[in-house]
Amino acid sequence: MTGNFQFLDYLIFICYAVLILGVGLWVSRDKKGHQKNAEDYFLASKSLPWWAIGASLIAANISAEQFIGMSGSGFALGLAIASYEWMAALTLIIVGKYFLPIFIEKGLYTIPEFVEKRFSTNLKTILAVFWIGLYVFVNLASVLYLGSLALETIMGIPVVYGVVGLSLFAAAYSLYGGLSAVAWTDVIQVVFLVLGGVVTTYLVLNTVSGGEGVMAGFKAIYQTAPDRFSMILDASNPEFKNLPGIGVLVGGLWVANLYYWGFNQYIIQRTLAAKSLKESQKGILFAAFLKLFIPLIVVVPGIAAYTIVNNPELLSTLGEIGQQNIPSVGQSDKAYPWLLQLLPVGLKGLAFAALTAAIVSSLASMLNSTATIFTMDIYKEYFDKDAGDKKTVNVGRISAAIALVIASITAPLLGGIDQAFQFIQEYTGVVSPGILAIFLLGLFWKKATNKAAIIGALTSIPIAMYFKVAPKGWSNRLFFVDLPWMDQMGYTAILTMVIIAIVSLIQHKGKDDEKGILISKKSFKTSPLFNIGSFAIMIILTAIYAVFWK
């Protein structure tokens, strides 16, 4: 398969790699006479401007699970999977207006730190362990696996070697430089990511139209596979279990999105590193606008691949390369790597650089956030409360390296999973409803108590597993129910909030908790720019869903 890559492709990819490593190491250097401290390493010295925050949010978010996994879901079920991206734009606005003001006012390093200030150290530790386990065994491992799958499909590199190569690339600059290196290289990564994605989408749609252009290609895939353009699936659709109709807009997807964008350390960490609250909110708004665009470069190519594969005449025009590694039912995650094979010399290197940028930037972000949580919430709390800046930074580097090694060992074990994007969402959904319930009540309900939050955290997992692991053949018997996993998340979050509310009311008999957060209308006041931008995004989203409702 390496014969598909020509000298120009290798040259473009090598230039990209050298640029990222060079910039990462340059911004990582210690300024003369200044020893890197915890704020430098974990929060980029709180100096990030809005455009760097917005770019870094997207680079951290868009990874192999989008390019490979979401394209695979586009191949398997169509445009409906884009709800993750488009609803995320609306979620970002909510996070910027209602969550960020409280987080920044409290001067947080980590999300578990908020839990300690609002509830207790014990609950902080429980959630910190949850997050570290989730990042290492689900997020890091799945990104490494999907990235190595792309390397194997495009260049013939075995999965194990791909995992090692991607790990070393991400580690080369992120372990030493911390969030500053991650955030500033993310700005470059986003340029490659968007440019490479646009080029791939353009060429694929142009291929579908027989060289007549993008609009003709889009029209062709719409006419050929109209079932792939329904945003709201009905119960007869075989993929309804993954995207349960109107429940996507009013149900469990809100749990996934609010948890991910509001209370996920490797996402929210760059907003905590802003120069100011207004700068952070502008960065959030910028990321929300970019989110509207992302489905065009990660979902549409998957739909185009489905159209090509199911058109024998069109497939026959792709030559010998096009007949290799053809995606099929059960192997939908091969769709995007297969498309990359079809690109001309030079552009193939650019598209592959974009894919690698998405993978490496997310790996670097996850590593830095795993290190931040372990160092600030576990090590400093239980091993060395008086650790100085030098020791704190070194512990962060060592813990990130250990997390990367564990994830690298785990990654190849994920082989054989179809629609890995759905796998990641489903298993994150076991933990996220309980965490969301704790945070929402902790932020906005002053009566929520520490004891109630701990009980909620511990009972949310059995509740989630009750919905998820009904014994075979026992659905609708012995109180077991068979629900789409997204609905399971919604019910788990609601039941957890009910448990927290009941325990809180019994414990304090309706009185406010002493650690309850005092908020007012002024707490959530935003600038005219943020308000106008938010309304514009809501209008665009309304138009999209009106056009592609069915």
pLDDT confidence tier of residue 455, bands split at 50, 70 and 90 = very high
Lowest mean pLDDT among 37-51, 100-114, 377-391: 37-51
For residue 80, give the DSSP letter.
G
Q: Is the dihedral of CA 190, 338, 74, 144 positive or negative?
A: negative
Please state the rounded mean pLDDT for residues 37-43: 63
Statement: residue 323 has pLDDT above 80 = no
Residues 6+ apart with CB under 8 A from 549: 230, 231, 232
Dist CA 148 CA 442 (whole Å): 40
Please state the rounded mean pLDDT for residues 178-205: 81
pLDDT over 70, % of the chain: 89
Give the pLDDT of residue 423. Answer: 64
Dist CA 376 CA 388 (whole Å): 12
Give the pLDDT of residue 539. Answer: 96
Q: Residue 502 CA to chain centroid, in angstroms?
A: 33
Residues 6+ apart with CB under 8 A from 16: 192, 353, 356, 357
Give the pLDDT of residue 88. Answer: 92
Please state the rounded mean pLDDT for residues 465-481: 62
Please name every residue paired with 48 in a beta bridge, in sequence order, or none if there are none.
274
Dist CA 99 CA 97 (whole Å): 6
pLDDT tens figures, 150-165: 777 767 788 888 899 8
Give the pLDDT of residue 1. Answer: 40
The mean pLDDT value of the chain amounts to 83
| Helical ranges in 411-484 per DSSP H | 420-428, 432-444, 450-468
Dist CA 180 CA 174 (whole Å): 9
Structure tokens at 421: 């994007």
SS3 48: strand
pLDDT tens figures, 417-433: 555 556 666 677 788 89
pLDDT confidence tier of residue 3, bands split at 50, 70 and 90 = very low
| Helical ranges in 344-484 per DSSP H | 347-373, 380-382, 389-410, 420-428, 432-444, 450-468
pLDDT confidence tier of residue 130, bands split at 50, 70 and 90 = confident
Backbone angles phi, psi at 48, to 5 degrees: -75, 135
Give the pLDDT of residue 190. Answer: 81
Dist CA 405 CA 366 (whole Å): 13
Please state the rounded mean pLDDT for residues 432-452: 91
Lowest mean pLDDT among 263-267, 313-317, 400-404: 313-317
Statement: residue 2 has pLDDT above 50 = no
Give the pLDDT of residue 98. Answer: 92
- Give the best-scoring range by mean pLDDT among 184-188, 254-258, 329-333: 254-258
Q: Which residue has the higher pLDDT, 349 or 480?
A: 349
Under a CB-based contact definition with an 8 Å cutoff, are residues 550 and 232 in contact? yes
Structure tokens at 414: 């994920």
Query: Which of 135, 127, 129, 102 minimizes the C-alpha distance to 522?
Result: 102
Please state the rounded mean pLDDT for residues 325-347: 78
> What's the per-residue H, E or C state across 116-178?
HHHCCHHHHHHHHHHHHHHHHHHHHHHHHHHHHHHHHHHHCCCHHHHHHHHHHHHHHHHHHHH
Dist CA 548 CA 378 (whole Å): 47
Buried b (16+ CB within 10 A) or exposed e, 265-282: bbbbbbbbbbeebebbbb
> What's the per-residue H, E or C state across 264-327?
CHHHHHHHHCECCHHHHHHHHHHHHHHHHHHHHHHCHHHHHHHHHHCCHHHHHCCHHHHCCCCC
Question: Which amino acid is located at 235 in the chain?
Answer: A
Please state the rounded mean pLDDT for residues 328-345: 78
Question: How many CA atoms are closer than 13 Å to the CA of 220, on its beta-carbon side?
Answer: 23
Statement: residue 4 has pLDDT above 70 = no
Dist CA 80 CA 74 (whole Å): 8
pLDDT tens figures, 90-118: 999 999 999 998 888 887 777 888 888 88
pTM of the model: 0.84
Cα distances (Å, whole numbers) of residue 48 to 27, 130, 184, 478: 13, 28, 9, 54
Structure tokens at 426: 């489903």
Give the pLDDT of residue 292. Answer: 93
Please state the rounded mean pLDDT for residues 363-391: 85
Give the pLDDT of residue 419. Answer: 53
Statement: residue 239 has pLDDT above 60 = yes
10 Å CB burial of residue 430 (0-12, 13-18, 19+) is buried
Question: How many CA atoms are closer than 13 Å to the CA of 239, on its beta-carbon side?
Answer: 23
Give the pLDDT of residue 31. Answer: 63
pLDDT tens figures, 293-319: 999 888 998 898 888 888 777 777 777
Give the pLDDT of residue 424. Answer: 67
Region of 44 on the Ramachandran plot (φ > 0 left; ψ -120 to 50 alpha; else beta) = left
Dist CA 86 CA 114 (whole Å): 28
Dist CA 185 CA 357 (whole Å): 9
Structure tokens at 237: 């659709």
**Crossing angle for the helix pair 277-298 and 83-94, nearest 10 degrees?**
170
Buried b (16+ CB within 10 A) or exposed e, 71-101: bbbbbbbbbbbbbbbbbbbbbbbbbbbbbbb
Question: Which amino acid is located at 51 in the chain?
Answer: W
Please state the rounded mean pLDDT for residues 398-419: 82
